[in-house]
Amino acid sequence: MSDQPKRPEEIQAGPSSSGYDPGQWYWESRKKRSNPMGTAVFSILRLADLPLQYYLLRYSSFLPDLIRRIGGTAIPLSSPLSATGIAGLSPYQTLILGLAAGSSAKQIYWKLMINDTNMTSGSSTAICAYNTLLNTLNTGLAFWAVTSQAPADQGSFLSSLTTAPAAVPVGLTLYTVGIFVEWYSEIQRKRFKSHPENKDKPYSDGLFGLARSINYGGYTLWRVGYSLICGGWTWGALVAVWLAGDFCARAIPSMDAYCEKRYGSQWAEVKKKVPYGLLPWIY
């Protein structure tokens, strides 16, 4: 393993010492290069998710009708006192829209203020479509009687909170912690990289001192929390297995392969210092 750090443009594509190779597209995506079109596409599509989710929650009958067509029972999410929410939404609907808004705000901030790699329009579209699909699935499950975590009393925010199933406060806690961890860990790394003396050095302090890809762990937490609030324990568990499996089998090995090629023996020291990849004391 080389002791000399390399710039992303100098890295040769290919498998790591463990034999894992994420593919040519991944190596290209790691190059430090401005892509204004990709940035614009990403920002616009993530922002567009908000009016879509509001429309599905407030006006559209598409999701309830779909549930009925497959033999399920759809429940009303609004109440006579829905004005206690915002824009004609019940408190539960308002919470769901807030989850979508928080995810979009965090990801747009990341693209505009943190990310400096080559993200093409195609990659931006795929990432945004994936997140919008997950948000829409959550909105749909909030309408389905089997999975919905709608409070028994939706008359006010306080009554909604006190009558909500346990999955709602648990999910809200995971969502809040996860959003913060993903957001702040990336800010910490950005600050470290901004100092000239840290050029071509891997970052393994702050929240990244808990897990090498703690930002992926934060994403997993808030996504699971979002799913718990909309779809309950079973859906939350399925999302947790899917995301953790994907990160552990694909994303983390890809990042390890990249960092190994870029930082050489420095990355080997990081892996000794920070043995966990996704979440501390778990994996």
The pLDDT tens digits of the residues spanning 48-75 come to: 999 999 999 988 888 999 999 999 999 8
Residue range 79-107: mean pLDDT, rounded: 81
Task: Give residue 77's pLDDT band: very low, low, confident or very high (50, 70, 90).
Answer: confident
Among candidate residues 11, 84, 19, 23, the one with its CA nearest the CA of residue 263: 11
The predicted structure's pLDDT at residue 21: 82
What's the rounded Cα separation, in Å, for the pair 7 and 175? 35
What is the distance between the alpha carbons of residues 186 and 112, in angstroms, rounded to a whole number?
Answer: 13
Q: Are residues 278 and 248 in contact, defined by beta-carbon separation less than 8 angstroms?
A: yes
Residues 87 and 54: beta-carbon distance below 8 Å: yes
> Which pLDDT value is given to residue 153?
67
Segment 242-275, tens digit of pLDDT: 999 999 999 999 999 989 988 988 999 999 999 9
**Closest residue by Cα to residue 224 from 242, 201, 240:** 240
The residue that leads in pLDDT, 217 or 5, is: 217
Tell the burial category of 195 from Cβ atoms under 10 Å away from its Cβ (0-12, 13-18, 19+).
exposed
- Percentage, residues of the chain above pLDDT 70: 91
3-state secondary structure of 101: helix
Q: Are 121 and 42 in contact (CB under 8 A)?
A: no
Q: Report how far residue 233's alpha carbon sits from residue 149's, in angstroms, rounded to the nearest whole number.
A: 10
Average pLDDT of the segment spanning 88-93: 86
Question: Is the CB of residue 51 less than 8 Å from the CB of residue 139?
Answer: no
For residue 84, what pLDDT is reported? Answer: 54
